[in-house]
Amino acid sequence: MAGLQAQWDFSCDLEVDYESEENASMVYAALDVDKELQPDKVKRQMSVSNGKLIVHFEAVEARFLRASFSAFVDVLTLATKTIEEFGQGMEL
């Protein structure tokens, strides 16, 4: 479909403070392998800075943004709970 350009009109940012570069990096590594299922409709960029996981989402429609954000928060919660349960005092 030549000539059709996606408009990334919807965006949101998420920042989670793990108070530890190691924990933030572990969550980043765990979640980075899950790519967006519809990269032509949703983009996600992640980074780690000062012990925080920073995530930026952009989407062509609000419903794609909501679905992507919601699914991401679900796996983020699981990864965070795993680190809380097993990560304390672990040697990396």
Domain-embedded: residue 48: yes
Domain-embedded: residue 72: yes
The number of folded domains in the chain is 1
Domain-embedded: residue 92: no
pLDDT at 92: 44
Question: What is the domain range of residue 36?
Answer: 10-83
pLDDT at 2: 46
Domain-embedded: residue 21: yes
Strand partners, 54: 15, 47
CATH number reported for the structural domain that contains residue 76 in this entry: 3.30.310.50
Query: Is residue 79 over pLDDT 60?
Result: yes
pLDDT band at 70 (very low <50, low <70, confident <90, very high): very high
> What is the per-residue pLDDT across 37-51, written as a single tens digit (0 to 9) for each?
889 999 999 999 999
Query: Is residue 7 over pLDDT 80?
Result: yes
pTM: 0.83
